[in-house]
Amino acid sequence: EAQVTQNPRYLITVTGKKLTVTCSQNMNHEYMSWYRQDPGLGLRQIYYSMNVEVTDKGDVPEGYKVSRKEKRNFPLILESPSPNQTSLYFCASSSSGITYEQYFGPGTRLTVT
Amino acid sequence: GDSVTQMEGPVTLSEEAFLTINCTYTATGYPSLFWYVQYPGEGLQLLLKATKADDKGSNKGFEATYRKETTSFHLEKGSVQVSDSAVYFCALRHTNTGNQFYFGTGTSLTVIP
């Protein structure tokens, strides 16, 4: 089954404790992206990647890191989480070319206390 | 730059009512246009898309027509059901901006029996 998986689905952590949210897709997509969703703010893009070893900042990259060492994986790293990073996070992937849609993961709900 | 504007929500309708959710975009050239739906507690999934002017996307009774002259992609359904209660996002993807996706802020729809 074609899918985007994220882990963990739920995470509660404390300020300053490094964490990684994994994202993996099995569709051989070149394009991958991370978003955060907050009430009243819609989806905001954090980082995206057009292919292996190619990443770029989205609209809200501060406090986040990513890497793309393999085509299927695109982990999101919070090196020193803060309470304002409490949010719902989505990973997505897509083929290149503007006619292709994104496929979204199920989301990771992160709470930073 | 490129952007998407959706009508503000929330929208509440009675079952079998007609639905319109407005979406307009700002972009040069010919982006692809998408509607995504997010059911409670889930990730986003593609509802329909249109990749060139005058194309009509349709799925599950929903329709939207790509209107270049009015830069619009309004979502419509003739008779909504309780199961259509969800958040709807309009989005565009464009070569002019590196194949990036731009999302509207989302419109919450509640259908009451």
Give the per-residue pLDDT at B96: 66
CA distance B11 to chain A (A): 14
Q: Chain A residues with CB inside 8 Å of B36's CB?
A: 104
User: Would the CB atoms of B100 and A96 count as touching at under 8 Å?
Assistant: no
Q: Using 50, 70 and 90 to split pLDDT, how confident is the model at B7?
A: confident
Q: How does the average pLDDT of chain A come out, rounded?
A: 95
Q: Chain A residues with CB inside 8 Å of B31's CB?
A: 98
Give the per-residue pLDDT at B74: 98
Give pLDDT tens digits along chain A (113 positions).
889 999 999 999 999 999 999 999 999 999 999 999 998 888 999 999 999 999 999 989 999 999 999 999 999 999 999 999 999 999 999 988 878 889 999 999 999 99
In the numeric block, which tokens belong to residue B67? 């209107």
CA distance B43 to chain A (A): 5
Which residue in chain A is spatially nearest to B46 when comparing CA positions? A101
Convert the pLDDT of each residue in B89-98 to its tens digit. 999 998 766 6
Q: Using 50, 70 and 90 to split pLDDT, how confident is the model at B100?
A: confident
3-class DSSP assignment, residue A83: helix
Mean pLDDT of B72-80: 97
Cβ contact A113:A13 at 8 Å: yes
